[in-house]
């Protein structure tokens, strides 16, 4: 293990760093500063304002005191941008001083972006300036190549300058086109490798991971900016040639690639690449064996005369391959077969692999996109940088709603509704999902633009209800009769189902023909998008989730028990969990009220389908009786409970979780969405013997979703969940209405504060029948002992109280001890270990335990029991009125005389056991 740097070593490092910076000319410093500007803003946002300004004050002439209150006045982002810009305008000394300040702060504030840029700056030296200039101005090319490049950029400009936006369902307006530079929204890109093991559907898992990212401190998030994809990667210790950008369907991978090419064409990005070639895997699927040159010329025939010269300098080339998940061929990097010649005819997927492995056009760069699930099945070591698009963060979601609705009042109401609905909100990080949600909500708010209770009741609450409403809105604006609409929806449904079960999302004319889908139908264009030109037209659903919805819906329109059973079985066999959302929709559609919205447009739905899905759910119930410590088992159990949640079938809840009625998710991280699901299950069960959510990190947000239905639990364990004093009112409300509660474990949280007494007051109520309360390591101090003493003296059902690992010593500890001697006290087992009790505390303890008629077990381990009051404790334990049978006093240093006193005490008191 490397030794930590001493202060002198740190000072030496800063001096070396300063020397490197001093060697740069001013224009070079400006180039570097501009290049890292986005990173610097992100870093300043995360740093302590006081620490940063203190460093700047000592290293620059900047008037740091002017910025002390600016953060509060402007907000963190505007303040950070202002500071970074002001330093830039101050000149050379300020810029160098700023860099030195960041270097000095890095040891105590190792922000991942700061680590990355410092290592890049130190490692690359003057070559960084050369790369920045190369990216800005490009290479010197021959007149012929320059002319070919100009023609190539003009061709790509036409293809990339416009963004196509789908029209809302039922709208008479045409598909809209916008300039990409105006409509492109910056998406957060982070480093990742989490696709290695997936325990649930990628959309759900990424959404929950996204919410965890939002809760992390800013200094734990590593943002990777667009202009840095092909710059120094300190994890790989190289400038990467191969980069993977992953992301769930609809997150914006293709749009990001389009913006990448557009920025290259317009000279804003990576001019080091003389030529950029953009391919989609869905287009490569149509190719038989070809050569790389043929692949290029099929898309860019005007390059034919210069192609040999272009390919002759691979370091100046970038190949972009979009949508690995859409490839019909498996990428295999273990193959020994090598393609080393651009004229060699091979399978297109092999040519792509050889470009990545650098056996073909060594030195070229490759940028690829894929869904995360596909990366789990290939050797990703070939990529030197792997990133993931995280989509919209909170403020970007709000902006999207504002832009969509145009009306501030309605956009705020719609966004507030979605925020309150964790099921829908979890998916709002995906731009295309935001579009679907906004489209559905718009139909309600246009008709009833008020925030009434009636409106809230009819708004969609589950993902199934969201998509049912989405489809109903489309059907309501088309002239097809029920039979015509049903026929088309059935055809589309079976095609969608075939795609889900066989893992493909791109369809062509042959697919539509085989499933008798009318490609000329206007209704079809409301669900699917066309790509390319005849005869190579392809079709994809507006969103993968819409395809999964149609795949489930068709089983209710065209019921076949054998097909349904086969699909249920097959969907559960997928290792990448891609069938999970499909099954959620199947279960959601089993609810009569949910699918009733579609009945006016499609006619009757099969009741046999609902019955078969419900029976299938019932057959899965025994799995809940076998939860163990395995994370996978708990995720499978939660997935199963989510099916029940979508079904809205509370009658089924009476059978959950089997005869034991126990749910144990110890040590498994539960998202707010998981807590929403569990809350529904608890409500359905009416009474749950045990709910163990220890170390599930639910925090206050998860507790808010659980609290309304915790009144059904007998044994409730919520330890180590980042709960605070602000959680206590929620807990108090849950306890107040709970007639069953017997055990409550809140250990490992930080509950001290003004609201803690609210919880204790509720626990002291005559209606509370709690028998065991565990508050170990709950951050309690002497301030809490007054309310705890009330609990001991007034609740005569309480048998066990554990206050271990707190700091309850102090002036009010005597009140707690006096409560023990109350005639109403029923405490039999009390733990006060490791509470730093002082001698006077021991005195109050000794004075009162002699009068307690119920106390049988007392744990005082880890306290300082030796001293002048030790004999008082011995005397109290010797008293005939003292009923204690077990005394634990581990972790004490007793003298020989004190040990003898304890042994004599055991001899005098038959039945008393002392554990030293």
List, for residues 268-297, the tens digit of each pLDDT value: 999 999 999 999 998 898 888 999 999 999
CATH top class, domain 796-916: alpha beta
Is residue 714 pLDDT above 70, yes or no?
yes
606-770 and 796-916: identical CATH topology: yes
Query: What was the pLDDT predicted at 656?
Result: 65
Query: Which regions of 466-547 does DSSP assign to beta strands (E)?
Result: 507-508, 528-531, 538-541
Contact 866, 838 (CB under 8 A): no
Contact 326, 285 (CB under 8 A): yes
Query: What was the pLDDT predicted at 547?
Result: 92
Query: What was the pLDDT predicted at 173?
Result: 45
Q: How far apart are the two ends of the chain, measured CA to CA in Å?
A: 39
Residues 6+ away with beta carbon under 8 Å from 146: none
pLDDT digits (tens, 9 = 90+) for 372-401: 777 766 778 889 988 888 777 777 788 888
Q: Give me the mean pLDDT over the 420-446 stretch.
A: 80
- Burial of residue 140 (CB within 10 Å: 0-12, 13-18, 19+) is exposed
- Burial of residue 387 (CB within 10 Å: 0-12, 13-18, 19+) is buried
Instruction: Give pTM, 2 decimals.
Output: 0.73
Contact 400, 430 (CB under 8 A): no
DSSP, collapsed to helix, strand or coil, labels residue 667 as coil
CB atoms within 10 A of CB 199: 16
- Burial of residue 173 (CB within 10 Å: 0-12, 13-18, 19+) is exposed
Contact 189, 224 (CB under 8 A): yes
Residues 6+ away with beta carbon under 8 Å from 167: 173, 174, 175, 176
Task: Enumerate the domain spans of the chain.
Answer: 7-137, 145-391, 394-459, 473-604, 606-770, 796-916
Please, what's the largest Cα pairwise distance for the chain? Answer: 108
Helices 37-46 and 26-35: crossing angle, nearest 10°? Answer: 70
The answer to whether the Cα torsion of 806, 812, 813, 817 is positive or negative is negative
Query: Which regions of 237-306 does DSSP assign to beta strands (E)?
Result: 242-246, 275-280
Contact 105, 55 (CB under 8 A): yes
Query: What was the pLDDT predicted at 181?
Result: 56
Contact 763, 795 (CB under 8 A): yes
Q: Are strands 688-692 and 713-717 parallel, antiparallel or unpaired?
A: parallel
**Secondary structure, 3-state, 222-239:** CECCHHHCCCCECCCCEC
CATH top class, domain 145-391: alpha beta
Is residue 89 pLDDT above 70, yes or no?
yes
What gap in Å lies between CA 320 and CA 436, rounded to an integer?
29
Residues 6+ away with beta carbon under 8 Å from 807: 780, 781, 782, 835, 836
DSSP state of 806: S
pLDDT-derived band at 1, boundaries 50, 70, 90:
very low
**Secondary structure, 3-state, 597-645:** HHHHHHCCCCHHHHHHHHHHHHHHHHHHHHCCCCHHHHHHHHHHHHHHH
Q: Give me the mean pLDDT over the 479-497 stretch.
A: 91
pLDDT digits (tens, 9 = 90+) for 655-703: 765 445 788 899 988 888 889 889 988 888 878 899 999 999 898 888 9
Q: Give me the mean pLDDT over the 172-201 stretch.
A: 53
Is residue 331 pLDDT above 90, yes or no?
no
Contact 189, 221 (CB under 8 A): no
**Domain made up of 606-770: CATH architecture:** Alpha-Beta Horseshoe (3.80)
Of the CA atoms within 13 Å of residue 208, those in its CB half-sphere come to 21
pLDDT digits (tens, 9 = 90+) for 506-546: 898 899 999 999 888 888 888 888 776 666 788 888 888 89
The answer to whether the Cα torsion of 518, 522, 526, 531 is positive or negative is positive
- Looking at per-residue pLDDT, the higher value among 618 and 443 belongs to 618
Query: What was the pLDDT predicted at 277?
Result: 98
Query: What was the pLDDT predicted at 218?
Result: 45
């Amino acid at each position: 293990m490397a030794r930590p740097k001493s202060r002198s070593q740190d000072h030496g490092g800063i001096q070396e760093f300063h020397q490197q910076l001093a060697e740069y000319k001013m224009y070079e410093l400006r180039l570097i500063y501009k290049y890292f500007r986005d990173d610097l803003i992100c870093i300043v946002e995360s740093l302590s304002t006081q620490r940063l300004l203190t460093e700047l004050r000592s290293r620059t002439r900047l008037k740091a005191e002017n910025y002390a209150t600016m953060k509060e006045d402007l907000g963190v982002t505007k303040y950070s941008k202002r500071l970074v810009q002001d330093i830039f305008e101050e000149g050379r000394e300020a810029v160098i001083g700023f860099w030195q300040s960041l270097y000095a702060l890095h040891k105590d504030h190792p922000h991942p972006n700061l680590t990355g840029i410092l290592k890049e700056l130190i490692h690359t030296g003057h070559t960084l300036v050369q790369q920045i200039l190369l990216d800005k101005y490009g290479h010197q090319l021959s007149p012929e190549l320059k002319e070919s490049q100009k023609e190539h950029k003009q061709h790509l400009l036409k293809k990339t300058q416009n963004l196509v936006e789908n029209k809302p369902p039922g709208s008479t307006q045409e598909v809209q086109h916008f300039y990409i530079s105006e409509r492109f929204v910056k998406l957060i890109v982070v480093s990742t490798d989490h696709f290695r093991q997936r325990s649930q559907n990628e959309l759900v898992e990424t959404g929950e991971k996204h919410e965890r990212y939002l809760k992390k401190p800013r200094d734990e998030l590593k943002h990777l900016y667009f202009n840095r994809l092909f710059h120094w990667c300190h994890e790989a210790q190289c400038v990467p040639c191969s980069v993977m950008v992953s992301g769930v369907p609809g997150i914006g991978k293709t749009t990001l690639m389009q913006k990448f090419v557009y920025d290259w064409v317009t000279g804003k990005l990576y001019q080091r690449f003389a030529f950029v070639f953009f391919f989609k895997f869905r287009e490569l699927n149509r190719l038989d064996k070809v050569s790389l040159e043929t692949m290029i010329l099929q898309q860019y025939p005007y390059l034919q005369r210069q192609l040999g010269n272009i390919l002759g300098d691979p370091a100046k080339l970038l190949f972009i391959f979009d949508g690995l998940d859409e490839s019909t061929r498996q990428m295999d990097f273990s193959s020994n077969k090598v393609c080393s010649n651009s004229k060699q005819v091979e399978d297109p997927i092999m040519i792509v692999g050889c470009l990545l492995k650098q056996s073909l056009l060594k030195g070229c760069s490759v940028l690829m996109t894929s869904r995360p699930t596909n990366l789990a099945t290939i050797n990703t070591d070939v990529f030197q940088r792997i990133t993931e698009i995280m989509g919209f963060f909170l403020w970007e979601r709000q902006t999207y709603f504002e832009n969509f609705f145009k009306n501030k009042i309605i956009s705020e109401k719609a966004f507030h509704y979605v925020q309150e609905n964790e099921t829908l909100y979890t998916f709002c990080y995906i731009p295309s999902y935001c579009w679907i949600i906004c489209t559905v909500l718009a139909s309600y708010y246009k008709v009833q633009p008020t925030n009434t209770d009636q409106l809230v009741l009819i708004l969609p609450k589950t993902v199934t209800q969201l998509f049912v409403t989405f489809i109903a809105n489309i059907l309501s604006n088309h002239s097809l009769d029920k039979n015509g609409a049903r026929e088309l929806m059935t055809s589309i449904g079976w095609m969608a189902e075939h795609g889900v079960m066989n893992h493909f999302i791109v369809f062509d004319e042959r697919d539509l023909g085989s499933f008798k889908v009318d490609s000329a139908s206007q209704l079809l264009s409301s669900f699917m998008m066309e790509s390319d030109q005849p005869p190579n037209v392809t079709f994809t659903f507006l969103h993968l989730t819409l395809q999964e919805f149609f795949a489930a819906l068709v089983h209710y329109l065209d019921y076949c028990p054998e097909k349904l059973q086969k699909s249920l079985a097959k969907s559960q066999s997928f290792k990448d969990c891609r069938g999970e959302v499909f099954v959620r929709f199947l279960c959601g559609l089993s609810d009569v009220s949910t699918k009733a919205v579609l009945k006016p447009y499609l006619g009757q739905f099969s009741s046999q389908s609902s019955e078969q899905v419900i029976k299938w759910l019932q057959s899965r119930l025994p799995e809940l009786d076998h939860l163990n410590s395995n994370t996978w088992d708990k995720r499978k159990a939660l997935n199963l409970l989510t099916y029940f949640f979508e079904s809205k079938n509370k009658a089924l809840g009476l059978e959950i979780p089997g005869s034991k009625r126990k749910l144990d998710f110890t040590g498994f991280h539960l998202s707010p969405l998981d807590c929403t699901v569990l809350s529904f299950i608890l409500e359905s069960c009416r009474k749950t013997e045990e709910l163990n959510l220890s170390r599930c990190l639910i925090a206050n947000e998860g507790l808010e979703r659980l609290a309304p239905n915790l009144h059904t639990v007998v044994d409730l364990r919520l330890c180590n969940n980042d709960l605070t004093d602000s959680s206590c009112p929620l807990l108090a409300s849950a306890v107040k209405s709970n007639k069953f509660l017997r055990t409550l474990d809140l250990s490992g949280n930080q509950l001290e504060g003004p609201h803690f007494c609210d919880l204790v007051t509720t626990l002291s109520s005559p209606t509370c029948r709690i028998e065991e309360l565990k508050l170990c390591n709950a951050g309690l101090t002497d301030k809490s002992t007054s309310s705890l003493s009330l609990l001991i003296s007034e609740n005569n059902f309480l048998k066990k109280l554990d206050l271990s690992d707190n700091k309850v010593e102090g002036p009010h500890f005597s009140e707690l001890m006096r409560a023990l001697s109350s005639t109403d006290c029923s405490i039999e087992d009390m733990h006060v270990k490791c509470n730093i009790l002082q001698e006077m505390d021991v005195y109050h303890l000794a004075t009162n335990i002699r009068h307690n008629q119920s106390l049988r077990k007392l744990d005082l381990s880890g306290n300082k029991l030796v001293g002048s009051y030790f004999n008082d404790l011995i005397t109290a334990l010797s008293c005939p009125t003292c009923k204690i049978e077990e005394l634990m006093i581990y972790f004490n240093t007793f003298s020989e005389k004190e040990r003898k006193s304890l042994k004599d005490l055991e001899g005098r008191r038959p039945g008393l056991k002392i554990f030293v």
